A and B are shown apart, each in its own frame.
With several copies, the nearest count.
Chain A
Amino acid sequence: MIETLKANLLSPIPLAFALGIVTRLMRSEFSLPKDVYSALSIYLLFALGLKGGVELAHASFDSIVAPAGVTLLLGCITPLSTYAVMRYVGRFGTSDAAGMAAHYGSVSAVTFIAAQQFMQRVGAPAEGFMPTLLTLLESPGIHIALAIGAIQRNKQLLALGGDKNAHGSVREVLHEVLTGRTMVLLVGGLVVGYFMGESGWNAVSPFFESGFKGALMLFLLEMGIVAGDRLGDLKKVGPFLLAFGIVMPLLHGAIGVILGAWAGLSPGGAAVLGTMAASASYIAAPPAVRLTLPEANPTYSLTAALAITFPFNILAGIPIYYSIAQAIAT
């Protein structure tokens, strides 16, 4: 495993990510312009969706059912376990616990992509339908977490005689998650890819496939910078969240790998599923939480998701989940 860890650290994606962090540690003000960051993420997500759609056309329904089932199960387990750990181990308030659950119950698409690339590099590519699973895991966790938060808050507010409609309706916010950039490009890409098939893909793959790894590298440079921006907040969050940001993904990652293997995924596929479960959303979850649970302190969830869990997964988590998957397979 040490070998795999080391090989991972010297591959383009973790190196670019580390460069981004170092850039910030050196107090450089460099960062990618906002629209370039958006352009890269649009490109990566749409490429992922298209490719996934083309491959979905080849997959038998049977081979997907079990993996899809465990993915949805993970979408229920991860927010609940996060909420429980935050609330009863960490002794955080309801809103902060629910806010964190929304982040860890959802998924980070970039971490997913990094995991896919890792599996390709080590010669254990994941199943072609993995992007479909990604879309299944994006929103249930956020739904569940916000529902917990809303229920708990309403309980308290009603006790205090407050106005239960003061904040953004959960419904409205979930519409935003489901029609947000990630879902439009992923689900849209899947559908388009499915219909255009191989011949369509061959026409556009010089754009969407050849450039993918390089664009991902540039994107991770920026992610390193964004994560580096949050490093200063590490002091603010205390030792519990520091540990939480590493232990939680290990736990979710292990569960994900086990369920994946059990559902018949290849070692690469199980490791990617584990990575998804282990990852925390920092795109879809934050605005959703901000609008529905404004009392939740975003410093907690963003620091944990972006400055601890994300780097941990990119630098060490992915090879670890893969080792677990290999261990199970043999």
Chain B
Amino acid sequence: MLTHSFKLVTIIAEPVLEPRITTELRRLGATGFTVVEGRGQGSRALHAAEIPGINVRIETIVPPEVADRIVEYISKQYFADYEVIAYLSDVQVVRGEKYRRAP
């Protein structure tokens, strides 16, 4: 089946940031996102959740240029003060138009 190449951006973050990040994703050009709850450990374990170690895993499929923008935004905005990681991978989707916002 004909498929289109997009980027999958995965962001793992403290739960307090979820509303803020998902709102920003839309603004930066994402057409949707999926959030799953998880727990984790990384380099620090600071965060002020009732239960430490709980975090959210947000993923969004976007065109490469939007992926760049998201990663840049996340790094600038959150990497310094929060427990957040973000990574990119390549995915193929069927309905390319679904993940691309009309400019």
Contact = CB atoms under 8 A, between A and B. Distances in A.
Interface stretch (B25-33, B43-51, B88-96): B43-51
Contacts, number: 33
Interface in A294-309: 294-295, 297-299, 301-302
Main secondary structure of the interface of B (DSSP, over half): loop
Contacts of A295: 81
Interface in A184-232: 226, 229
Main secondary structure of the interface of A (DSSP, over half): helix
A282 B52 CA distance: 13
B16 interface: yes
Interface string B70-86: 00000001000110000
Nearest to A38: B50
A89 interface: no
B50 A226 contact: yes
B59 interface: no
Interface in A271-306: 282-283, 286-287, 289-291, 294-295, 297-299, 301-302
B50 A289 contact: no
Interface residues of B, number: 14
B48 A298 contact: yes
Interface in A142-158: none
Interface string A30-44: 000010010000000
B16 A287 contact: yes
Contact of A290 (B14, B51, B54): B14
Given A168-B20, A294-B82, A289 B48 contact: yes
Nearest to B78: A294
Contacts of B81: 294-295
A166 interface: yes
Interface of A: 34, 37, 166, 168, 226, 229, 282-283, 286-287, 289-291, 294-295, 297-299, 301-302
14 contacts: A37-B50, A226-B50, A226-B51, A229-B52, A286-B48, A287-B48, A290-B16, A290-B47, A294-B81, A294-B82, A295-B81, A298-B47, A298-B48, A301-B48
Given A229-B52, A283-B50, A286-B49, 5 more contacts: A37-B50, A166-B77, A226-B51, A295-B81, A302-B48
